[in-house]
Amino acid sequence: MRMSTGFCAHADTTCRIMRTDDLPYLEPWIGTGVYANAFGCEYIFRDGNTPHTHYRRHRMEEIGAVEYPDWRARPVMNMALDSIDALKQSIGGVTRY
């Protein structure tokens, strides 16, 4: 499989204009907070910074009360999955690894 022509052209242009051998890459800023949010932690978006979550449990004794989440009902998880699909589509669905 080959990467999409658009991505390859973008990488070539970026390398020529910026005079660098550093290739452009996708960085969606989707981290472990997505999983915390799936378990009920609030997901905070901050302008100009990475998102973060607030703790929902503060002591080990509280962990036993955690229930298996319905990830399909969590908007942040759906946003992450939609972002992954959009990024894969923008590069032709090809990943290196």
Token digits of residue 55: 């703790």
What are the Cα distances from residue 62, in Å, to 42, 66, 67, 71?
Answer: 17, 7, 11, 21
Tell me whether residue 43 is in a domain: yes
Mean pLDDT of 65-76: 85
Q: What is the pLDDT of residue 1?
A: 35
Q: Work out whether the CA dihedral 91, 46, 78, 33 comes out positive or negative.
A: positive
Residue 14 — very low, low, confident or very high, per pLDDT cuts 50/70/90?
low
Alpha-carbon distance of 13 to 19, in angstroms, equals 10
pLDDT greater than 50 at residue 20? yes
- Domain extent at residue 81: 26-90
Overall number of domains in the chain: 1
Predicted TM-score (pTM) of this structure:
0.57
Query: Between 9 and 60, where is the model more confident?
Result: 60
How confident is the model over 50-64, as pLDDT tens digits? 788 888 888 888 888
Tell me whether residue 14 is in a domain: no
